[in-house]
Chains A and B, each alone.
Chain A
Amino acid sequence: MAAIRGLGAYLPSRVVSNAELAAHLNCEAGWILDVSGIEERRYAAPEETVASMGVAAAQQSLENAGVSAGDLGMILVSSGSSERRFPGPASAIAHALGLDHVPAIDLPIASAGSLFGMAVAASLCGIHGNILVVASEKMSAIVSRQPLERGVAPLFGDGAGACLIGPDDGPVKIVDSVLHTDGAFAEDLRLEFDAPLEMNGRSVILQASRKIPAAIGELLGRKGKSASSVQVFLMHQANQNLMDRVARALEVDAARFYSNIRRYGNTSSASMLIAAAEWWRDPGPKEGDLICFAAFGAGFHWGALLAEAAS
């Protein structure tokens, strides 16, 4: 049985308001808020990298878990915005944590990478021991590529999240997960080398609106649980309207979907773990709580993961 042992997050200090972006994008600040639910986001400093932000989140998750880096058996790092083709940030993060022999694997899966990392870690921790899942994104470097697209640039922010998953019977067990991929729509959300982010928003929203509730329903149905029995949904923070739509499809109160998108925007694969780290800190899991993670992103990759706090 795998357990969630600790979470961490890192957000850069620079706050970028809608007003600041609107001036560059020839649009109204209020329009950005209306279409996305985003009021501000964080941008990394020039010297901050995907790896350096990931290290900060990783260290916090290890501290919260009371585990030292030396006790890690594997590191999985998700990022769709790493600065170079190879090596990816996983090896740099492992090195910064003082590890020189632990396998560190990159998962270049935008948006859904942290969910995939958690599910894979839950499967592998019985073999490798403690597995640190890190998701780190410097989306500001992507969305600043010319030409600026007002339907894309305001949506994204920078940050990192981390989650330590161990094989022990900890207080919050990972119960099950479902992962799916359908490459038929790969062209609808993509990032080519040195080119702007390409997103067919209609296709992404249409597919995500159907696939996320379906995956959650598949997962809960497999365990004989209902959506109303879930205490909190920790979902990829893509768009407030999308989260509200998923809540409606599942017939649960939208307040059960933890949201910080107003403050951070869409931090791609980091967003779900940043949200989880915040929720874990306050209010955090209580005895018997069911916690449902969910994400959807480029690929398309999507899925859900169910955790349960011990009674």
Chain B
Amino acid sequence: MTLGCGVPRSAALFKKADQGNSDVQRTLFDKVWDSHVVAEMGDGYQLLHVDRNLLHDLSGGKALADLEARGLSVRSPSLNVAVPDHAISSAPGRHATSTDISARLAPIFRQRAEAAGIRYFDVNDPEQGIVHVIGPELGLTLPGLMITCGDSHTSTQGAVGAIAFGIGSTELLHVLATQTIVQAKPKRMRVRFDGALGAGVTPKDMILHLIGQIGAAGGDGHALEYAGPAIEALDIEGRLTICNMSIECGAKMGMIAPDDTTFSYLAGRPFAPKGVIWDRAIATWRGLPTDEEAIFDTEIVVDTGLIAPQITWGTSPEHVAGVVDRVPDPADAADTAQKTAWEAALDYIGLTPGAPLEGTAVDHVFIGSCTNSRISDLRHAAKIADGRKVADGVSAWVVPGSQSVKRQAEAEGLDRVFEAAGFQWREPGCSQCVAANGEVVAPGKRAISTTNRNFVGRQGPQARTHLASPTMAAAAAVTGCITDVRKLMDT
């Protein structure tokens, strides 16, 4: 069963797990969580050790300044890493101070990080990139770790079997000062993707489809584990895309059990352990996957084979449909809160209830962000762009997720494919995902973006965002409208 965009969330998708012996049988999440408890604080709260804390330019420098103002210092500098990504320019030839905001933030960020003894990857260093892209890529992100960052898409990094979640500014101060975090243990939810992906359907479509089904709050209060054959079949980059959007269904954390795919991905990465320590680590990590009889508070099963390429039509990631579907009618909303939200969303996005999504004209395409800017994303998008031209009146950007992705793409000639088709090939960073660097989508313009949020004003005041996969984005760029990418694929 696939659910169209107008169909309310289905209670039938949720089934309560049977009761069992949960003392000995534990989930991946429980194993990682329990091994980080430093102290019981009572009332269900625990103090947890943080193995990696990542700082970015929007909040990093400020946090270090605030820490000093409170008379505190960084407890374990070596477990922290800093990188500018949000506020920096993505223009070719950019440097740390190319945007006004970055000129204000980056120099202070660097100076404060270095003064605190925190490793800093500068704007054009070979390791630089979007914080959640470089974590796994450099082997900083490892199975079994507890990872925080002042950014909600930290959930991305759970894809290798870590607990990774976003925190606020004050929580960030707490991590810097104590290398721990105060949390109440969330409930556990497992999402099993059965079956296999159809042609032209990507991990982005899997996660968008899930959000459409369970809603933007469907994972509230839970840590998600993604499992099942369709997850096991994914490479790490696809798994990162899935975990990235856990927060869009309300779950702070999403994770996937480490397996041989994980270990071969991590082996030899710059910060991954080597030699005997690697062997010891692997032995530990092999014990992390969820025990067979472990109990989840909620289980959801998705038939992966029935998922069509997805596209959002509104201003919440739950406002999503198959590309072949129509714009929903607020009259069909499940309740008043949903109706109000749908009406406001359609008004903002400029679509008419009942109209087909396919064929909607677009102005701009953005391929990038911590959701979809890795090498496999760019390869897939380039395949669609190859030999075609960006449609008249459409602008299209490709922003690689990291310097390493950019180097690899250039070595494969993907930059030339994109440029020949009329895409701009730019420098690594968050760029138009949040437009904090001033790279906005113009007011009223319609963008297809491979990002994770279609919120009001996310890509700039009055900008209209449709979330989709890299191939769907490339297809929209070359046709000038929302297009079912499967029509452009060689079979």
Pair from one complex: no
